[in-house]
Amino acid sequence: MGRYRRGRRKVYTERRKLTPTFVVLLCTFVICAVIFCGYNLYPDYIYPFFYGHHENSTLDVEFIKSKDLSIHFLELGNQYTGDCTLIKAGNVEVLIDAGSKASSISTIKNYLDQYVLDGTIEYVIVTHAHEDHYAGFATPEKTLSLFDLYNVKTVIQFAQVTPETMERNIYANYLRELNELQTRCNTKVFNALECVEETNGAKSQYLLTENIVLEVLDHRYYREVASTENNHSVCCQVIQNNDKYYLFTGDLEKAGEESLVASNKQLTKVELYKAGHHGSKTSSHNVLLEVIQPKIVCVCCCAGSNEYTSTNENQFPTQDFIDRIAIYTEKVYVTTIYEEQKENKFASMNGNIVVLCNQYDLRPDVQCSNNAIILKKTKWFKQNRNCPTVWL
């Protein structure tokens, strides 16, 4: 059998050229991968690049109005601590409380008029019968209240008051102003108990837009009189797209927070928590915080004011509050600071604070009228509070 030499076949492969379309797709994929990984590993560096979250931020009203949801924590024009929160969802407005004094009304109105363009507030929530939360609704007879200045479709109010509160002039003023509002605007008025039990036409959930819901949360002090008005606070949350939660608990204290957690199994981690009771040591306890684990906390107070106590560590926001909240987030913002040397005794810390979010945003943004410096970086904090270890 003859031998033969097997020849090697030369194989030629055509070198393919990369098309412009393929290059663009490849680059897009790489950029998206870098952004995604960077956001998850270093969100505080990546996110501001795209959303403009800077420490020297100021409020862009038109930009804020373009967002699906914005939550505003207002300064109140004086050195007194109080609450006033505006929630804007599409063309629907929700106003929670109106403190701190009747003199705050003009400041509140000037701010609201930038966003309430039709003169109508769809929902007003009056959390409890303390001046620093409802003074703007409870003016003397010849003084215009916010109930006189806007049309209001629905009021959701506290379900209980203490016997002492019933005897106070400000409570009588509130009842008169509320009655006049009902007569003028045919306003629906429900208390929190009617909402959670869905009686007398009230509902536990109110649809603000297609993907944003306002939910009134249950607790025991809608049914029984507490020793303090704080525990009568109406509690609620805003739910966006069924995956972002924003919680408001008024001045609810520890016993109320325990009941809130026990009564609402749907409570979950939240994007935003309005600090209970202005950052007092009486609120924001672990029983609530370990459930909600907030990413952003906004404190409505005049930091360092001696309005309620001369003990530094117990002035809002208190050391106890800071120590408990620090476990979950360092993103703590405060509206106002007490400055004794100033003629009017106050100045903006962050100023008016706005938390805003579109339906498909990865997380909310924070903008402030003065600056967006988080609490732990402020001069006041460094001089007046001990920094928790987890914030170092």
The torsion defined by the Cα of 318, 324, 328 and 329, in degrees rounded to 10, comes to 20
User: What pLDDT is recorded for position 373?
Assistant: 98
CATH code of domain 57-391: 3.60.15.10
pLDDT in tens, 281-332: 999 999 999 999 999 999 999 999 999 999 999 999 999 999 999 999 999 9
User: Which of 162, 126, 164, 163 lies closest to 145 in space, CA to CA?
Assistant: 126
Highest mean pLDDT among 13-17, 121-125, 341-345: 121-125
**Annotated domain spans of the chain:** 22-51, 57-391
For residue 241, is pLDDT > 80? yes
pTM for the full predicted model = 0.88
- The whole-chain average pLDDT of the chain stands at 91
User: What pLDDT is recorded for position 58?
Assistant: 74
pLDDT in tens, 60-108: 999 999 999 999 999 999 999 999 999 999 999 999 999 999 999 999 9
* pLDDT range class, residue 19, cuts 50, 70, 90: confident
User: What pLDDT is recorded for position 40?
Assistant: 42
